[in-house]
Amino acid sequence: MPFTNPPREEIKGLLDRARSIAVVGLSDNPFRTSHGVAAAMQRFGYRIIPINPLVDGALGERAFDSLASAAKALGPGRAPDIVNVFRRSEHVSGIVDECIALGLPALWLQEGVIDDAAAGRARDAGLFVVMNRCIMKDRMKI
């Protein structure tokens, strides 16, 4: 069965509750989409946690090699509210595994990032999942 996103009201609720967003694949290059979207979300008041082993930091925040290394460094009770993914679709399954293992609450797969099976597995594990939508565009609508 194909994955379907939650209703708009539930997505709005997630974006209203969330305070921090781990951005997997966040570039330190201001001309990359991940950087622009994360910068906009930062302007909306969210704390951005860069996840990218190839950069030291982005948007004034220290970057982490993985979600697990971020969780360890941030400590208990400081896990990101949303994991926003800017990686190719073939990487989603591994990211879902990491989110499930860490008990993270929400996964957002950006436009063009599509893996129905992994998204369904994440949802079945209790994560709030949005797929193939831009978090910035949705946030601008509320």
CB-based burial label for 55 (10 Å; 0-12, 13-18, 19+): middle
In a domain, 2, yes or no: no
- pTM for the full predicted model: 0.97
Using CA atoms, how far apart are residues 22 and 83, in angstroms rounded to an integer?
5
In a domain, 112, yes or no: yes
In the chain, which stretches have pLDDT less than 50?
A: none
Which pLDDT tens digit goes with each residue over 77-100? 899 999 999 999 999 999 999 999
In a domain, 70, yes or no: yes
CATH code of the domain in which 74 resides: 3.40.50.720
Number of domains in the chain: 1
Structural domain of 104: 8-140
In a domain, 63, yes or no: yes
